[in-house]
Chains A and B, each alone.
Chain A
Amino acid sequence: MTETPEAGLLAREPGERNYLTDGTTVRSWLLTTDHKRIALLYAAGITFFFFLGGAAATLIRAELVTPKGDLLSADTYNRVFTLHGVIMVWFFLVPSIPTTLGNFLLPLMIGADEVAYPKLNLFSWYLWLSGGLLTLFALLAGGVDTGWTFYTPFSTLYSNSHVLLAAAGVFVAGFSSIATGINFLATIHLLRAKGMTWMRLPLFAWSMYTTSLVMVLATPVLAMALLLVFAERAFGMPIFDPRSGGDPILFQHLFWFYSHPAVYIMVLPAMGVVSEVIACEARRRVFGYEFMVYAMLMIALIGFMVWGHHMFVSGQSPFASLVFSALSFVIAVPSAIKVFNWTGTLYRGQIRFSTPMLYALGFVGLFTLGGLTGLFLASLPVDVELTDTYFVTAHFHYIMVGGSVSAFFAGLHFWWPKITGRMYSETMGKFAAVSMFFGFNFTFFPQFILGYMGMPRRYHEYPPEFQPWQVMSSTGAVVLAFAYLWPLFYLTWSLVKGPRADDNPHDATGLEWQTSSPPPTGNFNTPPVVTEAPYGYHPQGFAPHSAAPTEQAQTP
């Protein structure tokens, strides 16, 4: 018997050709038009920015342990929290799931061999990277201190920091969003496999569709708002300056018209991931598939009509505030429906508590709590008390971090075998998931209390009665930081030493699992044909009677 050589780092079998082994030069990566490789390029980028934004968060939490501003000067602190917001929103959260999991999985899930515009896809990565480099340059040049919200007239007329560089970085990155959105919309409309009708699309594909609608329609408004900031700051054109008859609140309208839909860009993909993971790990069809689709469409649509709820105390018309408050309550309904449906999916399932499932269930809890606190902020007189306090900070971190980041980790772990062809250690994964849940709650729940007590946002010194809760929050942040760093370790380990993955280690439905792990460059050896509804984990009308074949833990 001849000696079979060891399989290479990137291949499952010696001599296997998959998207990782097809071309190993740097050029083959930097000039790739393979959506799967582009997904990994984005993944490398967002990982860097996540830890950069996390470093800023570490500085913030360290400073806030004591009431005095003793770690950082006021100006430095202001630049640090601005950096944290700008990086985390535009260079981590907005791209995260769509450009990594979306890019990788969308064509696979719909049975296509590529996205509609592969070269545009590569260009979008370069756009995003350029935006990131501009922002890094702004940081290295001394930073920006306007807050991620760039409110005028502070940003246009009073700030002595690198506003325009940072705004330029965000402006350029916005076009990456738009390009990705256009690509996904075209891909879903035009490239679905035979038999893949709209109502047979996996919910993750629907989430990519709705997210793309929002990205394409909302991001241009941000671009315009930033251009106007540029015009006033660089060229002195009077737009927001009241001394010239301008209106500073105009900026807020333009900014929030994008930034509210932006939060749905950040949460809709997470909802898609969670639906996929819960269905597979509970072995149940998603409860109420149609309602889940309509809910996502409603969220995307109504999301454009509620921006004024960020401006209840801004001086906007009280009548407008009433309308925005009412619509904000209405938009809570589809989100609530989704939570009920995820719960319903567990009913009569065969539930396995794998790492992705733990993250997904964590999402359900944390998103529900975060969403409920949104009701407080939608209630006008309560919002007057709570807006611009730590209550808001806690609210959006619950949804974006407790929610979207948990879901991102759920998806990362769930599809890790498909993307890398390797398995990771389940024990370590579960430990990270549980640490994250507890660390997260310890970090951010005290901030609801701080907000209720009246502690304003963006303060680096504060009256001493707030200190106990700040200390609790910072302590939780230590655990949370560990929970984020730990996967870096065991996932890297899995890349080098992890056992090889089968084509379908979770025994999941979905076309991405019908091809090899990792997939070949062309995705499918023969184009798939779809003949039934998604999530065929059990016959229609009957719960899964027995456990699925893969009931063992993935690895020791």
Chain B
Amino acid sequence: MMEQASTLAPQVDRIFWMLTGISVAIMLLVGTLVLLFSFRYRRGTSVPRGPVPEKLSGEIEIGWTAATLFVFVFLFWFAAALDTEQFKIPKHAMEIHVVAKQWMWKLEHPNGAREINALHVPVGVPVRLVMTSQDVIHSFFVPAFRIKQDVLPGRYVYAWFQASKIGTYHLFCTEYCGTDHSRMIGGIIVQSAADYARWSSAQPQGDNLADQGAKLFVQMGCSGCHGGSAVVRAPNLAGVYGRPVPMTGGGFVTADEGYLRDSILMPQKQVVAGYAPIMPSYEGTASEDDVVKLVAYLKSGKVK
């Protein structure tokens, strides 16, 4: 039995084993019939063969087609129902920023602690992963949690889990990404709340992500247009995260991490209503790590 270390794992396994049971049943059915017929009706046996009525075979066919369709539609629905539940990421999840690059995982905790190819998390706490790649497509795979998500360049993707068992579990990159794809592996270290707290406070105390972002906000010149009361050229960013933003040309967009990231790297993509498209792009100036910090700052509620 594969290790079940997240709240999701038992639910996925239930479907897996159900499918295994159905597969075994169908294999036994087909296999038995084939072997039975092969034995009984092998050439030269004197078993009576008799007439084969046409009409009966027509009904049988419609019957087993309908039955198969019904079973398969049920399986689809049963599996899909779990998946749609998974879409809802719990509020107040602990947020971890993941940046994948050839050939390592960089993981950042909200308090600024940084890890490479390892992630310490407390057991029983929902964790939300905000992930992007610096180069090619990678994929964040933790078999024991039953989670996997391709990590794309140029975009944020999200996944979440709640670890349910203390221990260390494999983290694999599972989208082929070049030479050292096989070495892009690490461990998720699930600890008790106490151990995690101890670990966390033992990390070299850098500023947390939001504070680092505040520094960058000034250093990179963002505050020149977006700062304080100067809102003529650029919209004010206080409390922007999670709010609907009106777009030029009509419609609203919710300001999630992806929107904030795009606004920094591709500002012409979506322009706020009432503003001229004059923001310069920070593509090439702001690295993915910088963007992570800026977004953390914008989410922090410390923006004035």
CB pair B37 A351 closer than 8 Å: yes
Expressed in whole angstroms, the Cα–Cα distance for A387 and B12 within the complex equals 14
Given contacts A459-B181, A547-B43, contact A322 B80 (CB under 8 A): yes
Taking the complex as formed, is A7 at the interface, i.e. its CB lies under 8 A from any CB of chain B? no
Known A384-B148, A454-B143, A551-B43; judge A379-B19 contact (CB<8 A).
yes
Q: Is B194 an interface residue (CB 8 A)?
A: no
Does B69 belong to the interface (CB within 8 Å)? yes
A378 lies within 8 A of chain B by Cβ: yes
Segment with Cβ contacts to B, from A200-208, A341-349, A476-484: A341-349
Contact assessment for B15 and A463 in the assembled complex, using a CB-CB cutoff below 8 Å? no
Beyond A381-B79, A388-B175, is A315–B68 a contact (Cβ under 8 Å)?
no
CA–CA, A459 and B13, complex, Å? 25
Contacting B43 at CB < 8 Å: which of A350, A364, A453? A350
Q: Is the CB of A382 within 8 A of B15?
A: yes
- Could you tell me the distance in whole angstroms from the C-beta of A177 to the nearest C-beta in chain B? 25
Query: In the complex, what residues of A have CB within 8 A of residue B144's CB?
Result: 454
B72 pairs with A332, CB closer than 8 A: yes
Task: Give the total number of A-B pairs whose CB atoms are below 8 A apart.
Answer: 250
List the B side residues contacting A339 at CB < 8 Å. 30
**Bound-complex Cα distance A56 to B172 (A):** 25
Contacting chain A: which of B46-54, B196-204, B207-215?
A: B46-54
Q: Is B246 an interface residue (CB 8 A)?
A: no
Q: In the complex the two chains form, is B154's CB within 8 Å of A242's CB?
A: yes
Which stretch in A13-21, A30-38, A323-331, A414-422 binds the other chain?
A: A323-331
Closest to A386 in B: B16
Contact B154 A243 (CB under 8 A): yes
Residues of B within 8 A of A318 (CB): 83-84, 87
**Complex contacts, B37 vs chain A, CB 8 Å:** 343, 346-347, 349, 351
Interface residue ranges of A71-124 to B (CB < 8 Å): 74-75, 78
Q: Measured between C-beta atoms, what is the minimum distance from B76 to chain A in Å?
A: 4
Taking a contact as CB atoms under 8 Å apart, the answer to whether A368 and B27 are in contact is: yes
Query: Is B11 in the interface zone, CB < 8 Å from A?
Result: yes
| Contact A541 to B54, CB < 8 A, known contacts A248-B137, A347-B37 | yes
* Contact B12 A153, beta carbon cutoff 8 Å: no
Q: Which residues from A are CB-within-8-Å of B182?
A: 69, 74, 458-462
Pick from A330, A340, A389, A461: contact of B64, CB below 8 A: A340
**Which of A343, A387, A542 touches B148 (beta carbons < 8 Å)?**
A387
- Number of A residues near B (Cβ < 8 Å) is 90
Tell me the complex Cα distance, A178–B53, Å. Answer: 42
B28: shortest Cβ distance to chain A, in Å? Answer: 11
Contact at A540–B54, with CB atoms within 8 Å?
yes
CB pair A384 B42 closer than 8 Å: no
Minimum Cβ distance to chain A for residue B193 (Å): 27
Shortest beta-carbon distance, B63 to chain A, in Å? Answer: 10
Name the residue in B11, B38, B86, B136 with the highest tally of chain A Cβ atoms < 10 Å from its Cβ. Answer: B136
Q: Return the CB mask of B139-163 against A: 1 if under 8 Å, else 0.
A: 1010110111110111101000000
Interface string of A40-64 (1 = CB under 8 A from B): 0000000000000000000000000
Q: Are A365 and B75 in contact (CB under 8 A)?
A: no
- Judge whether B33 and A343 touch: CB under 8 Å: yes
A135-187: which have CB < 8 Å to B?
Answer: 145-147, 151, 153-154, 157-159
In angstroms, how far is the closest chain A Cβ from the Cβ of B254?
16
Bitwise interface map of B from 52 to 93 toward A, beta carbon under 8 Å scored 1, else 0: 111001001100110011001101100110111011000000
Measured in the bound complex, the distance between the Cα atoms of B185 and A329 in whole Å is 33
Interface size in chain B (residues, C-beta < 8 A): 80
Give the chain B neighbours of A247 by CB distance below 8 A: 154
B116 in the interface (beta carbon within 8 A):
no
Q: Tell me, in angstroms, the Cα distance from A322 to B44 when the chains sit together.
A: 52
Q: Are A458 and B155 in contact (CB under 8 A)?
A: no
CB distance from A412 to the nearest CB of B (A): 22
Within 8 A of B (CB), among A282-317: 282-283, 287-288, 291, 313-315
Contact for A382 among B19, B53, B72, B139, CB less than 8 A: B19
The answer to whether A253 has its CB under 8 Å from any CB of chain B is: no
Q: Which of A153, A315, A349, A461 has the most chain B CB atoms inside 10 A of its CB?
A: A315
Nearest CB of B to A297, in Å = 14
Which residues of the other chain, A, contact B76 by a CB distance below 8 angstroms? Answer: 325-326, 329, 378-379
Q: Please give the distance in Å from B45's CB to the nearest CB on chain A.
A: 9
**Does B23 make an interface contact (CB < 8 A)?**
yes
Q: CB-CB < 8 A to A325: which residues of B? A: 76, 79-80
| Chain A residues numbered 351-400 whose CB sits less than 8 Å from any CB in chain B | 351-353, 361, 364-365, 368-369, 372-373, 375-376, 378-382, 384-385, 387-389
- When chains A and B are docked, how far (Å) is the Cα of A452 from the Cα of B13? 10
Set of chain A residues within 8 Å of B52, measured between Cβ atoms: 347-348, 541-543
**Assuming the A-B contacts A242-B152, A315-B155, A346-B37, are A368 and B26 also in contact, with contact meaning beta carbons closer than 8 angstroms in the complex?**
yes
Nearest CB to that of B39 among chain A residues?
Answer: A351
Tell yes or no: A336 within 8 A of B by CB.
Answer: yes
Query: How far is B172's CA from A313's CA once the two chains are assembled, in angstroms?
Result: 14
Q: A291-B65, A365-B31 are in contact. Are A380 and B38 (CB under 8 A)?
A: no
The distance in angstroms between the C-alpha atoms of A403 and B53, with both chains bound, is: 31
Select one of A159, A337, A350, A545 contacting B61, CB under 8 A: A337
Chain A residues near B42: list those with CB within 8 A: 350-353
- Residues of chain B contacted by A457 (CB below 8 angstroms): 174, 176
Which residues of A have CB within 8 Å of B75? Answer: 329, 375, 379
Query: Chain A's nearest CB lies how many Å from the CB of B176?
Result: 4
A382: chain B residues at CB < 8 Å are 12, 15-16, 19, 79
20 further A-B contacts with Cβ under 8 Å, apart from A78-B176, A376-B19, A380-B82, are A74-B180, A151-B136, A153-B153, A158-B102, A242-B154, A248-B137, A315-B149, A325-B76, A332-B72, A343-B30, A344-B57, A351-B42, A353-B42, A376-B23, A381-B146, A385-B12, A388-B139, A389-B174, A463-B185, A541-B52
Q: Which 9 A-B pairs have the closest CB atoms?
A: A242-B154, A454-B143, A379-B79, A543-B49, A380-B83, A346-B37, A456-B174, A372-B23, A459-B182
B: residues with CB less than 8 A from A are 2, 8, 11-12, 15-16, 19, 22-23, 26-27, 30-31, 33-34, 37-38, 41-44, 49-54, 57, 60-61, 64-65, 68-69, 72-73, 75-76, 79-80, 82-84, 86-87, 102, 135-137, 139, 141, 143-144, 146-150, 152-155, 157, 170, 172-183, 185, 266, 269, 283
Question: 30 pairs across A/B with beta carbons < 8 Å?
Answer: A74-B183, A159-B178, A242-B152, A242-B155, A245-B266, A313-B139, A321-B83, A330-B73, A332-B72, A336-B68, A337-B65, A346-B41, A349-B37, A350-B42, A351-B42, A364-B30, A364-B34, A368-B27, A376-B16, A378-B76, A380-B80, A381-B8, A385-B148, A388-B139, A388-B148, A389-B143, A456-B172, A457-B176, A459-B182, A543-B50
